[in-house]
Amino acid sequence: MNTDAYLNRIGYVGSQEPTLATLKALQRAHLLHVPFENLDIHRQQEIHIDVKQSYDKIVRQKRGGFCFEVNGLFNELLQNLGFSTHFITCSVFSQPKQRYTPYFGHVAIIAHLEEDWLVDVGFGTNFSEPLRLNTEDYQLRDSTYYQLVKLNKVETLLHRTTDRQEHIKMYKFKPEPQPLTRFTEMCHYHQTSPESLFTKGKLCSLLTPNGRITLTDKAFIETVSGKKTETSIESTQEFDQKLREYFGIEL
């Protein structure tokens, strides 16, 4: 990995010391420049859990990826900069089905500083900076509150809320270290199963300084300061045009 090329890809020019301030700035920069996307699945381009492949795609081709790609590569960057980290397995809560999906369907990172922090650049509606792990206090990131709640001795639930009244479950996780190779089966599942959300349609989503932009087969959604506007996508040509204009991706 060329660390300078990676930092340039995410527009990062700050300190490279392995501190909390650096970790926060790196996660935000990554989310502002590298989209969460599943486009290769719909191009019949197989995605492997391979950091070299992810580096070529994200840094050299200026693409994005889904969790195994972006978190796998981001973890490599953090370790190259001197951070102590490990991968964890997560079970995502499916809003349409109102149930949890299997473990190893999502990978996130724990970074060890004076305290442990939950790090994630590979979830569609993501927290913009790491979350303090060992507290159940609300943690405000931009205009959204996040809370980590112990479910039992081994599982913690992450949910979000804008008013601290209505909570939306995101995922639960187990904090023990996992090798990235343990996620290979679910990486294949997400690309091939008709039950996977990733096979149901194209998706590209990116944090912006004051909101988020999301492109699907059916719509372009732009959220600015909490106000959402949605326009229909009528053709493949229109999808590709939006992909170039807003995400800088040309396939």
Residue percentage of the chain with pLDDT more than 70: 100
Overall average pLDDT of the 219-247 stretch: 95
Reply yes or no on whether the pLDDT at 92 is more than 90.
yes
pLDDT at 27: 98
Please write the tens of the pLDDT for every residue from 7-46.
999 999 999 999 999 999 999 999 999 999 999 999 999 9
Higher pLDDT, 226 or 242: 242
Residue percentage of the chain with pLDDT more than 90: 94
Q: Which residues pair with 223 in a beta bridge?
A: 212, 228
Q: Please give the span between the terminal C-alpha atoms of the chain, in angstroms, as a whole number.
A: 24
Please write the tens of the pLDDT for every residue from 45-60.
999 999 999 999 999 9
Is-contact 158 172, C-beta < 8 A? yes
Report which of 197, 225, 230 is spatially closest to residue 36, judged by C-alpha positions.
197
Higher pLDDT, 235 or 96: 235
pLDDT at 125: 82
Record the tokens describing residue 196, joined without a space: 């996977």
Reply yes or no on whether the pLDDT at 97 is more than 90.
no
For the chain, domain boundaries: 3-247
pLDDT at 251: 86
Is-contact 140 105, C-beta < 8 A? no
Q: If pLDDT is split at 50, 70 and 90, which confidence band does 95 have?
A: confident
Rounded-to-integer distance, Cα 80 and Cα 159, Å: 30
CB crowding 18-42: b at 16 or more within 10 Å, else e: beeebbbbbbbbbbbbbbbbbbbbb
Higher pLDDT, 97 or 62: 62
Please write the tens of the pLDDT for every residue from 156-191.
999 999 999 999 999 999 999 999 999 999 999 999
- The domain 3-247 is placed in CATH, from the list 3.40.50.2300, 3.10.20.30, 3.30.2140.20, 3.40.50.300, at 3.30.2140.20
pLDDT at 96: 82
